[in-house]
Amino acid sequence: MCELLGMSANVPTDICFSFTGLMQRGGRTGPHRDGWGIAFYEGRGSRTFHDPRPSCDSEIARLVQRYSIKSRIVISHIRRANRGRVCLENTHPFTRELWGRHWTFAHNGQLKGVKRLPLGAYLPIGSTDSEHAFCWLLGQVRERFPRLPREPRTLWRFIGERAQALHRLGVLNFLLSDSRHLYAHCSTSLAWITRRAPFGEARLSDADMTVDFQRETTPDDVVTVIATRPLTTNESWNVMAPGELVVFEAGEVCGQGGSVAAADRATG
């Protein structure tokens, strides 16, 4: 089962997500009865599609499968509701604006007592722990950096520190983006793989989800896919360590932090 799925690429990539497995079970049986959502960045803008109650005839899923959306950053989430009722406002990913950028957040896990963390500039619209955690995290960033810091690493380090604080409350696997960078934080399960053109076998899949890469690529294309679990068995995925934060830009790792040193990262 794949709860989080993300992509970072150096060119707008026509990645195609199929939710066949999910849709077949959707709303009937299995753990995914509580909806899914996906955000595609196009430049500074982003599109988000939410399906609080997936079903085998979901129009939204059909659109996402069929519609060619070229994107550099994608964040997708399949929900198992453990906090907050099943409704649109509780469906990931969540979005807010900071510094004139769209921020998007999707989370897997439970965080005990997260709602006791005091909020600042951002308030939740729904009732999930996850949205509360996102509002807290982004509020902290905003308070610390009223403007976008010049040195990206300063921001990454700060997000890593705050992610640590949340991580202490429970399980915190998340994907976060500001339209330029994609942050992946691992608490229990997150893995990533970078593919470079030519892509060869263009398909990644598990029981729920299939990722098809665009067949026509340029020799310089770089695409990283991040998923709850490796989607292929014949490739070396970078399995992230608990507490690890990795930052991607244009398909490449550009920063690492969190409570676990880069050296501890298990690769392959």
Residues serving a catalytic function are 2
Residue 239 to residues 29, 82, 100, 142, 186: CA-CA distances in angstroms? 29, 25, 33, 31, 9
Based on CB atoms, which residue is closest to a copy of itself, 71 or 189? 71
DSSP H helices, 149-220, are 152-167
**Rounded Cα distance, 174 and 246, in Å:** 11
Name the one residue in this structure whose structure tokens are 């399980």: 171
The minimum distance between CB 243 and a copy of itself, in angstroms, equals: 29
The minimum distance between CB 135 and a copy of itself, in angstroms, equals: 9
Based on CB atoms, which residue is closest to a copy of itself, 75 or 186? 75
Q: Give yes or no for a contact between 108 and 174, defined as CB atoms under 8 angstroms apart.
A: yes
The minimum distance between CB 193 and a copy of itself, in angstroms, equals: 28
The minimum distance between CB 23 and a copy of itself, in angstroms, equals: 15
Q: Give yes or no for a contact between 120 and 132, defined as CB atoms under 8 angstroms apart.
A: no
Q: Give yes or no for a contact between 250 and 152, defined as CB atoms under 8 angstroms apart.
A: no
Lookup: tokens for 193: 């793989």
Lookup: tokens for 203: 């398909």
The minimum distance between CB 235 and a copy of itself, in angstroms, equals: 32
All residues at 6 or more sequence positions from 159 whose CB lies less than 8 Å from its CB, including other chains:
137, 141, 176, 183, 245, 257
Based on CB atoms, which residue is closest to a copy of itself, 87 or 260? 87
Residue 47 to residues 201, 234, 238: CA-CA distances in angstroms? 28, 33, 28
The minimum distance between CB 182 and a copy of itself, in angstroms, equals: 17
**Rounded Cα distance, 26 and 20, in Å:** 9
In the complex, the residues that contact a copy of itself under the rule CB under 8 A are: 42-50, 52, 59-60, 63, 66-67, 87-91, 96-97, 99-102, 121-126
Based on CB atoms, which residue is closest to a copy of itself, 125 or 207? 125
Based on CB atoms, which residue is closest to a copy of itself, 39 or 245? 39
Based on CB atoms, which residue is closest to a copy of itself, 61 or 231? 61
Handedness of CA 153, 158, 162, 167 (dihedral sign): positive
